Structure 1
């Protein structure tokens, strides 16, 4: 199953974002006086920038692109060069507009606008993240921020310990925003410096998000988790893992609805596949295990026992052509004692080995009848397993309400950060 949260959220695959870099453009001898004046302005601006670089600065978070390593400052410089080079060129053309026809001015302007729009479309996420970071740093520059290390060594527990140890009695926002070292960020409610209540957690590299309830820095309660490729889960969580009842719809078209335990399908549930096949029955640690019924896309159906995601034990298999087998199975093959009945009433009974009749026995042999009765009983118990539709539907409705509350809290969190509103941490 794709993107299950059987593992923790840190196990999600992540890919590094790309970075556009531009090399310095050689100046031409035909540059006008206005271009020279513009260069002098840049030199004046560069002097205080160099003075600021001499001051000690906090360690910047870096991004990996292939075998190179770029810091946040390099990314901003690359963005500035990509936008600044066409701007300077356009300004130089505009300064000698009496020499360039109006149609060429319009063409240059359209090219510049196209470059800007292309850059924004390719770096939309980076621009939004940078604006939020700058806004928060501007409003809280004088305060010592709480350091979080979700996804790094030590985890959220170590981060919470640092937060409480460094500022146990300081003011904190009830709804706030926190950025993490791996590029993820959280918007929502806090309690004692940790994610508590309702909030939205965005996976920066994995292009996904979680909207719902939080307890002590972990997903706990009800929520909705979604990814860019189209997979989505709605249901219950406990200690950061899918636990309880919920529905997971994969981007491939498959889905699972039922019970969850520690991030995996575990208990009774329904697994539906895009090809039309369907399984209803028991699961254990993400695999079909126990009693269940499988309806194949070709019309075959099986009811009986499973072990480790395979037909194993006793069960009844009905073929689409009218034949059926009752007896013992081993890893998906007829193995042991059983009876195969054709649609015309003829029977083949005895001991089977890897799907082939090894030793024929009369139909009324006690050992054969015992295997047939065990297969029929297992099939009946599988068919009458209790359905979990009502519990799943209630969990999905609760998850939708929790996601709505989380989105509202995220909006308040952004507003509080921008306006600098603080309240006493309780």
Structure 2
């Protein structure tokens, strides 16, 4: 699904969405108002764009790795320490060998001691020495070896075992110039498979599936302040089903598209208000039901995060309005019923009754029927709870596999086994 960058617009006579801030439709009681109170929240806003400041994170790019490989520097340090200790032995050997008064047996003893010391340091740093020598070999010689064959299951001619000499580790560690680092699997020089990416500036990490250097599949994003997302990804963005819980206590669970809430979902706030319905590009749009913290509830149509169209609003006091709405206000034909049974019907303008009409007027009846139908459809929208739970479970499994790959990557880095030419 292509990423939608266009903002929601309305007709010139009514709606032009000029700001991504979320406002309440009735009594300023909406889930979005609580999001506006969070300063630099890691979580997303339910208006486009979704990501807030401390969630903006650079994607891993192999081209930005630091000059001078981390594992090569470690090898040079350890080999340098070995030479620093072995040099005095070489000096003593050359010194004593020049002494004419030293007997031949003493020279032989010194030679044996020197050889033993040299072999000891070579055995302790064999992997690093080989890694250093491999770095010094011309590239044409390095790439002349037989390529690794990767496959799943059996080939047409049977399960062919890869020769032992061609097996190399595909888990490794890579550092980036902005302080981020990745631990996990590589393929073709890019992050692919399972791995963990740590954000230095955003103080967070991603654990899960990778495809060609981007999040793809299932995974978990988490930040130091407590926000966390579990679900599906595609091409580096949240896409599919997933659940996001903010450090403020607010949450969203439902469908995602290109990094934004899009489709059917449930939006909950820590003040107990809740919205269940349709979203478009991060905003409430379509059919939905809203339960306000003061006891009011609305079911009907939304447009651009506001009550707009036809719907039914029940007040906590027992009153009820059924009819047409415009940008959160009663607008057009509708009927207002009091809890004592009295009614006020007619044409409304900006929340006030402009032209009173009898309850059985055709225009009033049509508006009330449209409002009740929209409310019924909003209440019976399809549920996505099972899909969200399934995606969250798969994300947890993918995160576990990523952590295992990260442990292997660190071990391979220490042993000098990783080959980043895969």
After TM superposition, is the score higher than 0.5?
A: yes
The one of 255, 262, 266 aligned to 2:258: 262
Deviation for aligned residue 1:192: 1.0
Deviation sequence 1:351-375 (CA, Å, 0-9, x none): 1111111111111000011000000
Write out aligned runs for 1:19-418 (5 A): 173-418=169-414
Question: 2:162 aligns to what?
Answer: none
Say which SS state the counterpart of residue 393 (structure 2) adopts: helix
Say which SS state the counterpart of residue 190 (structure 1) adopts: strand
The one of 42, 48, 62 aligned to 1:3: 42
Inter-partner Cα distance in structure 1 for 2:234 and 2:144: 27
Tell me if the contact between 1:337 and 1:352 (Cα under 8 Å) persists in the aligned partners.
yes
Distance 1:214 1:350, change over 3 A: same
Deviation for aligned residue 1:224: 0.3
Of residues 289-298 and 3-12 in structure 1, the stretch that sits farther from structure 2 once superposed is: 3-12
Deviation sequence 1:31-83 (CA, Å, 0-9, x none): xxxxxxxxxxxxxxxxxxxxxxxxxxx9799xxxxxxxxxxxxxxxxxxxxxx
Deviation for aligned residue 1:390: 0.4
Distance 1:7 1:316, change over 3 A: closer
Distance 1:8 1:183, change over 3 A: farther
Say which SS state the counterpart of residue 393 (structure 1) adopts: helix
Question: 1:73 aligns to what?
Answer: none
Deviation for aligned residue 1:425: 5.4
Residues paired across the two proteins, number: 291
Tell me if the contact between 1:223 and 1:400 (Cα under 8 Å) persists in the aligned partners.
yes
Deviation for aligned residue 1:422: 3.5
Deviation for aligned residue 1:285: 0.6
Which residues of structure 1 form unaligned runs of 5+? 15-57, 62-135, 146-162
Say which SS state the counterpart of residue 414 (structure 2) adopts: helix
Inter-partner Cα distance in structure 1 for 2:356 and 2:403: 67
Question: 1:120 aligns to what?
Answer: none
Say which SS state the counterpart of residue 332 (structure 2) adopts: strand
Tell me if the contact between 2:42 and 2:51 (Cα under 8 Å) persists in the aligned partners.
no
Tell me if the contact between 1:339 and 1:348 (Cα under 8 Å) persists in the aligned partners.
yes
Say which SS state the counterpart of residue 398 (structure 1) adopts: helix
Distance 1:7 1:417, change over 3 A: farther
Deviation for aligned residue 1:181: 1.4
Deviation for aligned residue 1:12: 3.6
Say which SS state the counterpart of residue 383 (structure 2) adopts: coil
For the aligned residues, what is the CA RMSD?
3.1
4+ residue stretches of structure 1 with deviation over 4 A?
4-11, 58-61, 136-145, 166-173, 423-426
Relative CO higher for 1 or 2, CA cutoff 8 Å, sep ≥ 6? 2
Distance 1:360 1:12, change over 3 A: same
Tell me if the contact between 1:139 and 1:417 (Cα under 8 Å) persists in the aligned partners.
no
Of residues 136-145 and 384-393 in structure 1, the stretch that sits farther from structure 2 once superposed is: 136-145
Deviation sequence 1:305-364 (CA, Å, 0-9, x none): 000011010000000010000000011111111100000110011111111111111110
Distance 1:374 1:224, change over 3 A: same
Say which SS state the counterpart of residue 254 (structure 2) adopts: strand
Deviation for aligned residue 1:234: 0.2
How does the TM-score come out when normalised to structure 2? 0.64
Deviation for aligned residue 1:205: 1.0
Tell me if the contact between 1:173 and 1:424 (Cα under 8 Å) persists in the aligned partners.
no
Tell me if the contact between 2:297 and 2:314 (Cα under 8 Å) persists in the aligned partners.
yes
Tell me if the contact between 1:198 and 1:402 (Cα under 8 Å) persists in the aligned partners.
yes
How does the TM-score come out when normalised to structure 1? 0.63
Deviation sequence 1:236-275 (CA, Å, 0-9, x none): 0000000000000000000000000000000000000000
Question: 2:8 aligns to what?
Answer: none
Inter-partner Cα distance in structure 1 for 2:204 and 2:354: 54
Tell me if the contact between 1:173 and 1:425 (Cα under 8 Å) persists in the aligned partners.
no
Inter-partner Cα distance in structure 1 for 2:192 and 2:52: 17
Distance 1:140 1:334, change over 3 A: farther
Deviation for aligned residue 1:3: 3.3
Inter-partner Cα distance in structure 1 for 2:319 and 2:130: 75
Tell me if the contact between 1:7 and 1:241 (Cα under 8 Å) persists in the aligned partners.
no
Deviation for aligned residue 1:207: 0.4
Distance 1:386 1:144, change over 3 A: farther
Tell me if the contact between 2:43 and 2:246 (Cα under 8 Å) persists in the aligned partners.
no
